[in-house]
Chain A
Amino acid sequence: MDDGIVVETKNLGRRFGRHYAVHDLTWQVRRGAIYGLLGLNGAGKTTTFRLLMGLLRPTNGEARMLGLDPQRQGVELKRRVGYVGESPCFYEWMTVYELFAFVAHYRKENWDAAFAKSLAERFALEGSKKLSTLSKGMRAKVSLCIAIAFRPELLILDEPTGGLDPVARREFFEGVLAEYQTPDRTILISSHLINEVSGIVDQIGILHEGNLLMDCSTEEFLSKVKVMRLRFAGDPPPHFTAEGILRYRVDGREGRAVTLNYCEGETENKIKSAGAESVEVMDLNLEDAFVEFISERKSP
């Protein structure tokens, strides 16, 4: 996998009972990307990450990260990949610095003690404090420190900022991740706080009920999903259809339409030819675009 692909899955699936948490996932992530895996709760993001880390066995299909098979080459893989899970569990009796020393023991080739210490200071973590006394947010910070301090080639962050206060979240995204990121390092991130990651992710994938519905650059996604204000000669009609329009509703004296496949000029023309007098296209931020995209597919 030297062609710049760091994550590759082929028909990867994981079933719990009768329910597929991840279903036939065929997916690639390029080296250097900051990839945001988005989805509603239960979409399969965490399961995907666990399959990639070799923490779960796939029901079908295969996965490779950095050219390694997570099931057979798990130790080598974990040597090169940093992973922050949803709810970090540690030895509660250790202090923060004792935990660092413990992790450093297993990552001694790459562990950067000075960087770890600077991260702890940045996050205002007291090294002598026992982990059992730390709040959820502080534990999340510890988890981030030990995942980043050995400067892994690939960093997987599963809801990394859960429990962090807004200041710490901003510090993490704008300070820590920015410092960590270099062209040869890749970050996979899932977060329900989409607006926070929108500024940093350059690729996104949208998972829904275990299926990958979208895999493109953030720019491309934002250019496709648009909301349009439609004005009509009289009152807006209660129902309106035109090619490319996914949803329509009356919003005061205007109509509001959503398209998931916007094409500049062409979409406006189609709407106008269907009866609208004018069309005003509004840009959406990533969170709004995601909500518009996913709400069509949500189960009732």
Chain B
Amino acid sequence: MKLFYANTIWKRQMRSLMETALVLAFGSLLLGIIATIFDKVADIGLSVDYYFPDKCKSFLGVALMIQVLISGILLGSEEEENKTHSFIFRLPISRTRWILERLLAIILSLMIYFTLLIFITHLIGHLNHIWHLNEAINTSLSQIFTLRNVLSAFTNFCICACVASIVKKVLPAAISALIVIFIIIIVLILISQPLPDMKHGHNYYPEIFFSAFQMTLYFTITPLLAIGLFTLSISKREGE
């Protein structure tokens, strides 16, 4: 059986996957850098002991799950934004097959994303080693390019993307932007409760500390938002 993304679509889809993976990788990288800056600020005693991306390092599982969902959404964005699903549904293809093939594309994107991520991490680490960068930079780079760090930073990126996408569907752009900014601020404030026993950058594991609220937020709200949006994106029918 040939796949939905077969023939001419396939080449484009692969390109699209690569683009998505690159965008995600560099998006995560950027957030990783921000995380590190927050780390440094905290380390020099400016009482900024909350550093939003860094705190998410423990939530590797959630990050993975959201990564899957977001990849699907991004992959489906062409269908959604250009309304090409209305064109697809005029062709003799069943919705089940369409959904299954999109899921397959999500898995592929996930694989490519991680491959790229690991590749970039190793490449930078290798270059760092070759060029004998100074200790400070070396430390920063090693902090930035740990897989966990990048992934955890990406979790936050996912939250914002989820909220933005959902809001975008129902409200004008300006209002959406305001709401998204508002939500980001609220989330930052809520997550920024100090963690008394946590030493920055040394403990990444869930057993260290979870506040009940953070658990609720990450394990319930975020996946629900992501799943909601994903369901929306795959169940949308023309005119409905």
| Number of residues from B at the complex interface, CB < 8 A | 22
A56, A91, A106: the one contacting B91 at CB < 8 Å is A106
A-B contact count (CB 8 A): 61
Q: Determine the chain B residues whose CB is within 8 A of the CB of A85 once the complex forms.
A: 86, 90
A57, A83, A102: the one contacting B90 at CB < 8 Å is A83
A55, A57, A98, A107: the one contacting B89 at CB < 8 Å is A55
Interface locus among B77-85, B102-110, B144-152 = B77-85
A171 at the interface (CB under 8 A from B): no
B131 at the interface (CB under 8 A from A): no
B6 at the interface (CB under 8 A from A): yes
Q: Determine the chain B residues whose CB is within 8 A of the CB of A103 once the complex forms.
A: 91
A89 to B88 CA separation, bound complex (whole angstroms): 9
Q: Determine the chain B residues whose CB is within 8 A of the CB of A79 once the complex forms.
A: 92
A106 to B3 CA separation, bound complex (whole angstroms): 10
A21 closest partner in B (C-beta): B239
Q: Determine the chain A residues whose CB is within 8 A of the CB of B12 once the complex forms.
A: 91, 93-94
Contact B8 A102 (CB under 8 A): yes
A283 at the interface (CB under 8 A from B): no
Contact A89 B237 (CB under 8 A): no
Q: Determine the chain B residues whose CB is within 8 A of the CB of A246 once the complex forms.
A: none
Contact B9 A91 (CB under 8 A): yes
Contact A107 B83 (CB under 8 A): no
Q: Assess A105 versus B83: contact at CB under 8 Å? Given A53-B90, A55-B237, A55-B239.
A: no
Chain B residues within CB distance 8 Å of chain A: 2, 6-9, 12, 78, 82-84, 86-87, 89-94, 237-240
Beyond A90-B87, A91-B87, 11 additional contacts (C-beta under 8 Å) are A55-B237, A56-B239, A57-B240, A78-B92, A83-B90, A85-B86, A85-B90, A89-B86, A90-B82, A94-B8, A106-B91
A53, A93, A102: the one contacting B7 at CB < 8 Å is A102
A67 at the interface (CB under 8 A from B): no
Contact B82 A75 (CB under 8 A): no
B240 closest partner in A (C-beta): A56
Nearest chain B CB to A92's CB is how many angstroms away? 6
B8, B78, B87, B92: the one contacting A88 at CB < 8 Å is B87
A76, A105, A107: the one contacting B6 at CB < 8 Å is A105
Nearest chain B CB to A86's CB is how many angstroms away? 10
Nearest chain B CB to A63's CB is how many angstroms away? 15
Q: Assess A90 versus B84: contact at CB under 8 Å? Given A78-B90, A78-B92.
A: yes
A47, A55, A76, A94: the one contacting B92 at CB < 8 Å is A76
Interface mask (A74-116 → B, CB under 8 Å = 1, otherwise 0): 1110110001010011111110001001110111000000000
A90 closest partner in B (C-beta): B87
Nearest chain B CB to A221's CB is how many angstroms away? 30
B2, B78, B89, B239: the one contacting A105 at CB < 8 Å is B2
Contact A101 B92 (CB under 8 A): no
Q: Determine the chain A residues whose CB is within 8 A of the CB of B87 once the complex forms.
A: 88-91
Q: Assess A50 versus B239: contact at CB under 8 Å? Given A78-B92, A101-B8, A106-B93.
A: yes
Contact B82 A91 (CB under 8 A): yes
Contact A55 B9 (CB under 8 A): no
Nearest chain A CB to B240's CB is how many angstroms away? 6
Give 23 A-B contacts (CB < 8 Å), ordered by A residue. Answer: A47-B239, A50-B239, A53-B90, A55-B86, A55-B238, A56-B237, A57-B240, A75-B94, A78-B90, A79-B92, A89-B86, A90-B82, A90-B84, A90-B87, A91-B12, A91-B82, A91-B87, A94-B8, A101-B8, A102-B7, A102-B8, A106-B92, A107-B92
Contact A91 B84 (CB under 8 A): yes
Q: Determine the chain A residues whose CB is within 8 A of the CB of B86 once the complex forms.
A: 55, 85, 89
